[in-house]
Amino acid sequence: MDAQLTLRLPGELAEKLEHSARRLKRKRSDVVRLALEQFLETAPEIRPIERVRDLLGRVESGVPDLGQRHREHLIRRLRRGE
């Protein structure tokens, strides 16, 4: 091994680690190493927004300044009863 890492775990997580190590008949460090390798291999390489960008769009309202003056447009529309 090239590097050593020391970390503190909350009690519940430490118990889960201990249970998994016993179940797998491995050292706790082996279980942590396996979990870390799996996490790093499956970590997203792209930002989450990139996964849904094609689902995002826009709606044409016909009102050129709706984005800047949306409150005014909404109040005017409510007063007209639309």
Tell me how many degrees the CA angle 10-1-45 measures, rounded to the nearest 5.
Answer: 65
Whether the predicted model's global pTM rises above the 0.95 cut: no
Neighbouring C-beta atoms of residue 28, cutoff 10 Å: 14
| Percent of the chain whose predicted confidence (pLDDT) is above 70 | 94
Which tens digits make up the pLDDT trace of 11-42?
A: 999 999 999 999 999 999 999 999 999 888 87
